[in-house]
Amino acid sequence: MPEVSGAVREALGSVVGTAGIFTDPADLEPHLVDERGAFHGVSPVLLKPASTDEVAAAVRICAEAGVGIVPQGGRTGLCGGTVPVTPGGEVLVSLERLRRIRDLDAQGFTMTCEAGCVLRTLQEAAERAGRLFPLSLAAEGSCTIGGNLATNAGGINVLRYGMARNLTLGLEVILPDGSIWDDLGALRKDNRGYDLKQMFIGAEGTLGIITAATMELFPRPRDVDTAFLAVADPAAALQLFAVAREVAGDMIVAFELNDRQALDMVFRHMDGVRDPFPERHRWYVLLELTAGVDGHARAAGEQILAEALERGLVLDGVRAESLAQRTGLWRLRETVTEAQKHEGRSLKHDISVPVTEVPRFIAEATEAIRAHWPGYRVLAFGHVGDGNIHFNVFGPPGDDGEQLFAEGEAIEDVVFAIADRMRGSFSAEHGIGQLKRRALRQYAPAGSLAMMQALKRTLDPQGIMNPGKVV
């Protein structure tokens, strides 16, 4: 991949103007490292185009010169997808100035927004219109809808509303030759051949740059019931999940698992948190129900708790009586990632297995780590209702990450092989980026990688879109 020449920089500058081009190392620095500080890259230029046309013109210049392009959103991704890999650098294209909501159709339950819109601003815009945009994750204050789509983000409400791709009705994408593919639209039904937008969702910027999207909105729930429940183990959590489904069906929006170690880290490192229970427990579930009829979610919550207590599935439980209490309970789950960062370096494994296999996965993987790496700590938490466990490993006491990372591939192989045996995935929602490419080669279903590479070659024959990521 050629270096970004002075002539290319000049041409790019003439497209985006002085407000849209940055070459000062101090401006570039935060864009050259990932969220977790695990990857560092180099680049001589950062662009912040202000419109779809500017993005398209910039991509055309890069395509003519054959130089690499790295799209960037909120830079909260956990797999190093925003960090350039070419030694001479690639052109960084931040979408942060494309942050207009082009249309919000409350009656049609749709919203068309530009890629740089921060997720929380979209949730708030929907709320002002009396609607719900249900995509929700702990990084929602800084991640962007473009990044959410590029990574096919999941988060805490997948059980009820699906992942980012399930919420998408249309896309506008700049293709690797700089042409604009406009497939925006609010159609629920459209069978004009292949569903091409799905190629770009989850492609992590390797097939094109998403500049806008039409997203689906939902009715705002009128009743919410949030409970934090102590359970003996993941098997009890799964039995509780079955009871909750029998009672509440589709009212369940979230069913999250926390282990005590995760909670201890939250108490050690975060402010404004407190243990809702007088006694320590080993495992916890956060259950949230919503309904369109006043009182329905609360009534279902009461019944679930009563049945679960009677069957001995729940050891203790609290239900939020106010918005402040609800926020407090969610904080115990949503700050786990940040607390972990304060705790030290860790290996993150974003596993999914069929829901019924979750207890066996956690038990086998924990036992395997204990057996091979005594003294290493394991943390298991996540979106258990959809089979997605964040199974993270910390090194032995006193290790600053050196020992842990020296064993990184061996640990990954043990954890991924267990998930693979259960027909699980080594990447449930965080994607591949540059972190999981080795795993993709090893654990993608036979034939998948070849098809992905063929698609990449067809759409991006020069390989300029986010080089060194995914395939």
Binding site for ligand FAD (CB under 6 A): 35, 70-78, 81-82, 95, 115, 137-139, 143-144, 146-148, 150-151, 153-155, 204-205, 209-210, 337-338, 429-430, 433, 466, 469
Q: Which does 382 bind (CB under 5 to 8 A by kind): ligand MLT, ligand FAD, none?
A: ligand MLT
H or E element: which one contains 131? strand 131-132
> Residue type for 67, please?
V
CA angle, 174 then 177 then 180, to 5°: 30
As a whole number of angstroms, the distance between CA 230 and CA 313 comes to 9
As a whole number of angstroms, the distance between CA 160 and CA 209 comes to 28
> Residue type for 363, please?
A
Q: Smallest gap, in angstroms, from Cβ of residue 45 to ligand FAD?
A: 16
Q: Smallest gap, in angstroms, from Cβ of residue 237 to ligand FAD?
A: 18
Among 51, 161, 34, 45, CA closest to 96: 51
The one among 31, 160, 319, 390 contacting ligand MLT by CB under 6 A: 390
Q: Smallest gap, in angstroms, from Cβ of residue 379 to ligand MLT?
A: 9
Own/partner long-range contacts of 51-54 (Cβ < 8 Å, ≥24 apart): 51/98, 52/98, 52/114, 52/172, 52/174, 52/180, 52/211, 52/212, 53/180, 54/15, 54/16, 54/20
Report how far apart, in Å, the C-alpha atoms of 143 and of each of 34, 91, 103, 120, 191 are: 13, 20, 20, 8, 31
Among 167, 166, 165, 163, CA closest to 200: 165
Q: Which does 146 bind (CB under 5 to 8 A by kind): ligand FAD, ligand MLT, none?
A: ligand FAD
For ligand FAD, which is the closer residue by CB, 73 or 328? 73
Q: Write phi, then psi, for 221 (nearest 5 degrees).
A: -65, 145
Q: Smallest gap, in angstroms, from Cβ of residue 454 to ligand MLT?
A: 30
The one among 33, 101, 138, 235 contacting ligand MLT by CB under 6 A: 138
For ligand MLT, which is the closer residue by CB, 79 or 470? 79
For ligand MLT, which is the closer residue by CB, 67 or 435? 435
Measure CA of the first residue to CA of the last residue in the chain; give whole Å.
Answer: 16
For ligand MLT, which is the closer residue by CB, 202 or 467? 202
Q: Which does 223 bind (CB under 5 to 8 A by kind): ligand MLT, ligand FAD, none?
A: none
CA angle, 464 then 470 then 471, to 5°: 75
Q: Which residue intervals of 134-233 are DSSP H helices?
A: 145-150, 158-161, 197-200
For ligand MLT, which is the closer residue by CB, 15 or 237? 237
Residue closest to ligand FAD when measured from CB atoms: 147
Q: Smallest gap, in angstroms, from Cβ of residue 155 to ligand MLT?
A: 7
Q: Which does 129 bind (CB under 5 to 8 A by kind): ligand FAD, ligand MLT, none?
A: none
Q: Considering the rule CB under 6 A, would residue 427 count as an interface residue with ligand MLT?
A: no
For ligand FAD, which is the closer residue by CB, 153 or 262? 153
For ligand MLT, which is the closer residue by CB, 154 or 301? 154
Among 112, 121, 68, CA closest to 90: 68
The one among 146, 328, 382, 395 contacting ligand MLT by CB under 6 A: 382
Residue closest to ligand MLT when measured from CB atoms: 337
Q: Which does 115 bind (CB under 5 to 8 A by kind): ligand FAD, ligand MLT, none?
A: ligand FAD
Q: Considering the rule CB under 6 A, would residue 337 count as an interface residue with ligand MLT?
A: yes
Q: Smallest gap, in angstroms, from Cβ of residue 369 to ligand MLT?
A: 17
For ligand MLT, which is the closer residue by CB, 109 or 376? 376
* Other Cβ atoms closer than 10 A to 114: 22
Counting residues that bind ligand MLT (by CB under 6 A) gives: 6
Report how far apart, in Å, the C-alpha atoms of 329 and of each of 303, 335, 373, 411, 452 are: 20, 11, 33, 32, 41
For ligand FAD, which is the closer residue by CB, 148 or 346? 148
Q: Smallest gap, in angstroms, from Cβ of residue 33 to ligand MLT?
A: 18
Among 426, 432, 429, CA closest to 411: 426
Helix/strand/coil for 115 = coil
For ligand FAD, which is the closer residue by CB, 75 or 319? 75
Q: Smallest gap, in angstroms, from Cβ of residue 337 to ligand MLT?
A: 3
As a whole number of angstroms, the distance between CA 353 and CA 421 comes to 10
Among 435, 432, 425, 413, CA closest to 365: 413
- Binding residues for ligand MLT, per CB under 6 A? 138, 336-337, 348, 382, 390
